[in-house]
Amino acid sequence: MGDSYRVSVDIGGTFTDVISMREKDGYIQVIKVSSTPEDPSKAFLRGIEELEKRLNIHPNEISCLIHGSTVGCNAVVQGKLPKTALVTTEGFRDVLEIARMLRPSSYDLHFSKARLLVPRSLRFEAKERLDARGNVVTPLTQEELDRITETVRESGAEAVAVSCLFSFLNPTHEQAIGDALRQGIPGIKVCLSSEVNPIFREYERTCVTVLNAALIPVMSEYLDKIQKGLEEMGCHAPLYIMRQDGGCMGSAVSQKMPVQALVSGPTGGALMANYIGKLSGNKNVISVDVGGTTADVCMTTDSEIQIADHLEVGGYPLSVRSIEVNPVGAGGGSIAWVDNGGFLHVGPESAGSYPGPAAYGLGGNSATLTDANLVLGRLDSHSLLNGDMELKTDLAYEAVHRVAERVNMTTLEAAEGIIRIAVANMAKGMRVISVERGFDLREFTLVPLGGGGAMYVSELARELNIPKAVIPQHPGVGSAFGLLTSDLRHTMSQSCVSMITEDSCKAICSLSEKLTDDVLKLIEEEGQSSANVQLSASGDFRYCGQSYEIPVDMPLPLTSESLFKAVEDYHRIYEKRYGHCNPGVAVEIVNLHIAVAAKIGAAKLENISEGNGTEKAIIGKRDVIFGGNSYETSIYQREKLGAGDTIVGPAIISEYDTTIILWPGDHALVDEFGSLVIDYTQS
């Protein structure tokens, strides 16, 4: 057996990215294989096979596997979930249907609600009740347990979610129902809200529990295929699944709690951007990960990735802590179209991987961002994957020309218009999570990722007045690299709604001790020693009378002093976000979160050799359109650039997984880690 490697696999809609990192020195190699949407496990296993075929890395040399998956998210969005039942408190059968009684757009006559996770025929009531303090009002009898079990059995459900009123304060009724179902219906998957998401707000808690129950069969089948395939190859490395909060979890845990990985797809990109920010000395980073369908925007402040507690997936609320991602419908496959008024639009509809952009030659005839870049010379027919995927310029030109005729433009004008609109859409998405929350983007660094991020970096930076951009090596597989930087992580949460007073502080501190014990037990079950972990705490705070919270970090162990300090921090964070605060108004804590993290390896980028001029890196020249003018532009092979080399735009820098576009006047410097640093204050 030779060297050992840490390997990450990130499955996208078009390509599956695989990165191997040699543990002794951090040497990184990248491969891409076509994704297999009908069965993503095939692309995963093929990627591992290609490591041996292309890079001579045998499966038994892999020491650790980390996987970012969209299997759960796809199943929810496409409605491909198994038959799932819900057991809830009598009188609350329709909580999923009533929801919050809110319309996202009050005057949209065509609005339609998301399909119900559980039809009414599979929602069953239990005669039991707790009050708002967790005290029993209506006892749960054995006769009622027998009736519930028989009803669920007759329904034929594969999985069942149990979500009773106020169970986050007292889980005994839920636990009794769960035990009865497991004993009475062997093989059925049972999820309790008091275990999955013990947080108040019964609608959101019920949604998360139902999603978790429905996803268990989906994720279990998927991971079983992968584990079986790896064993047949001789790979016995532990498999970790990316969580949406920026950590990862063991395969066995993910099969019990798949909802924690539901929207983990963009998480790796946020981790990569944060890593590059720390490496380059930039604490404030905003990243844009441009793939085939969307551009995912994330933000890091003071080297901390922004976390959200409320997301939406397929129209369903997901009250699980997640890295905050703002997706924008602008990617390489985003389709340009003209409305009835003659106005040009780009996205959100995408040509996908099949038939894809017109330039793919697979039958697509809609003009896309990829086609527009090809027409302008910013891409050439051999740009993708070092020429492994040939683009057809004539088909791209025809597609863009059809759009140009409808808006009375020349083909080149239409191509630039398509790109400007897409850039404006991305910039709007970036403002939503930054400028609209009081952050000044002049204090941030832009990190473009994905196959298309580096193509629009200069336009985005100028549009948003961002002074600097850092483009890491292999940005097209940034999400896959980000997986390698993740830690093993688990979080325990509990609602504890109360104002911060001396008396309430004692109860909150006691709860933090209980949650700490629980989370340490969980990390030990993953094979980690509790002596080698890092614990952290945070609370969700709000002004009394408000309905939504802001997370605030707190030191452990919790004390009365640290809780009152958290209130002061809340006022400060609130003022930064909204422009004002109310120090005279009482503050209450709503939820308490205790997280534990353990290192499962360290990702690192190796230093590159010193450069001796950029002439050797030039592999050709071609005419490229910038701002309506044609420039003879040098084409550079990125792998031939060394540390200290500088390039002045216009320039095109090509590498295996992306194309970097420098506009006229851009100044780019290659740093010691191979990243391109563009200083827009010099332009």
| Whether pLDDT at 277 is above 60 | yes
The pTM of this model reads: 0.88
Q: Which CATH class is domain 79-219?
A: alpha beta
Extract the runs of DSSP E, i.e. beta strands, from 504-650. Answer: 534-543, 550-554, 587-598, 618-626, 629-637, 646-648
Share of the chain above pLDDT 90, in %: 68
Domain assignments of the chain as residue spans, ordered by start:
1-68, 79-219, 488-598, 615-679
Task: Single out the residue of 305, 249, 242, 294 nearest to residue 268, CA to CA.
Answer: 242
pLDDT at 383: 62
Q: What is the H or E stretch that residue 657 is in?
A: none
Summarize the confidence of residues 552-573 as an average pLDDT: 94
Structure token pair of residue 12: 């996208």
Residues contacting 526, CB < 8 A, separation 6+: 249, 250, 253, 488, 490, 598
| Whether pLDDT at 386 is above 70 | no
Q: How far apart are CA 663 and CA 678, in angstroms?
A: 11
Instruction: At 326, give phi and psi (nearest 5°).
Output: -110, 105
**DSSP state string for 322-389:** EE--EEES-STTEEEEE-TTS-EEEEEEE-TTTT-SGGG-SS--S-BHHHHHHHTTSS-TT-BGGGTB
Residue 231, CA distances (Å) to 227, 242, 575, 583 in order: 6, 21, 54, 59
Asked if 567 and 499 touch (Cβ cutoff 8 Å), the reply is no
pLDDT at 352: 75
pLDDT digits (tens, 9 = 90+) for 435-480: 888 889 999 999 999 889 999 999 999 999 999 999 999 998 888 9
pLDDT at 1: 55
Q: Which pLDDT band, with edges at 50, 70 and 90, does 648 fall under?
A: very high
State the average pLDDT for the chain.
Answer: 91
Asked if 674 and 642 touch (Cβ cutoff 8 Å), the reply is no
| Whether pLDDT at 356 is above 70 | yes
| Whether pLDDT at 83 is above 90 | yes
pLDDT at 387: 56
- Among 100-104, 361-365, 617-621, top mean pLDDT goes to 617-621
pLDDT at 384: 63
Choice among 138-147, 161-170, 386-395, 523-532 with the minimum mean pLDDT: 386-395
Summarize the confidence of residues 238-261 as an average pLDDT: 92
CB count, 10 Å around CB of 196? 23
pLDDT digits (tens, 9 = 90+) for 17-53: 999 999 888 888 999 888 888 889 999 999 999 999 9
| Whether pLDDT at 602 is above 80 | no
Q: How far apart are CA 627 and CA 459, in angstroms?
A: 11
The better pLDDT of the pair 74, 256 is held by 256
pLDDT digits (tens, 9 = 90+) for 112-125: 777 888 999 999 99
pLDDT at 249: 93
Residues contacting 143, CB < 8 A, separation 6+: none
Burial letters 96-122, b for 16+ CB under 10 A, else e: beebeeeeeeeeeeeeeeeeebbeeeb
Q: Which CATH class is domain 488-598?
A: alpha beta
| Whether pLDDT at 311 is above 80 | no
- Among 17-26, 63-72, 623-632, top mean pLDDT goes to 623-632
Task: Single out the residue of 21, 68, 31, 64 nearest to residue 605, CA to CA.
Answer: 21
pLDDT digits (tens, 9 = 90+) for 482-508: 999 999 999 999 999 999 988 899 999
3-state SS string for 173-193 = HHHHHHHHHHHHCCCCEEEEH
Q: Which pLDDT band, with edges at 50, 70 and 90, does 677 fall under?
A: very high
Q: Which CATH class is domain 1-68?
A: alpha beta
Residue 237, CA distances (Å) to 48, 66, 256, 522, 548 in order: 12, 10, 20, 20, 42
| Whether pLDDT at 109 is above 80 | no
pLDDT at 77: 77
Share of the chain above pLDDT 70, in %: 99
pLDDT digits (tens, 9 = 90+) for 129-175: 999 999 999 999 999 999 999 999 999 999 999 999 999 999 999 99
